[in-house]
């Protein structure tokens, strides 16, 4: 099984993306999905999308992308956290299956 490459982006590339990164790492580990996670800013998403399989953001992102995008703000706020966790796993599994 290959490794999934994920970009987690927030406004500054430091604060909420770090919190989200740790939560996503745990969610994927529990689901048995191998992943390499990098962090960036919302402004970098478009230019970095070709180097990753899935993009996860902690804030709104409206521009069209070629990769699947998941809003993971709920992992930080606690709002609809279970639904966000399920979406993280489902989108990650689909992206991983598309790679193999």
Is residue 78 over pLDDT 90?
Answer: yes
Distance CA 50, CA 52 (A): 6
Give the CA radius of gyration of the chain.
12
Q: What is the CATH number of the domain that holds 47?
A: 3.40.50.2300
Q: pLDDT tens, 44-67?
A: 999 999 999 999 999 999 999 999
Task: Tally the domains of the chain.
Answer: 1
Q: What is the structure's pLDDT at 51?
A: 96
User: CA 73, 67, 10, 17 torsion: positive or negative?
Assistant: positive
Q: What is the structure's pLDDT at 1?
A: 62
Query: Helix or strand or coil: residue 31?
Result: coil
Distance CA 74, CA 77 (A): 5
Distance CA 63, CA 25 (A): 26
Please, which pLDDT band fits residue 100 given cuts at 50, 70 and 90?
confident
Q: What residues make up the domain containing 23?
A: 4-99
Q: Can you give the pTM of this predicted structure? A: 0.94
Distance CA 1, CA 84 (A): 24
């Amino acid at each position: 099984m290959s490794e999934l490459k994920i970009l987690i982006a927030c406004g500054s590339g430091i604060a909420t993306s770090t919190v989200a990164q740790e939560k996503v790492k745990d969610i994927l580990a529990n689901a048995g999905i191998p992943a390499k996670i990098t962090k960036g800013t919302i402004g970098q998403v478009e230019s970095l999308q070709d180097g990753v399989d899935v993009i996860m953001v902690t804030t709104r992102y409206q521009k069209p992308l070629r990769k699947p995008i998941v809003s993971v703000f709920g992992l930080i706020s606690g709002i609809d956290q279970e639904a966000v966790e399920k979406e993280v796993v489902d989108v990650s599994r689909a992206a991983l299956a598309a790679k193999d």
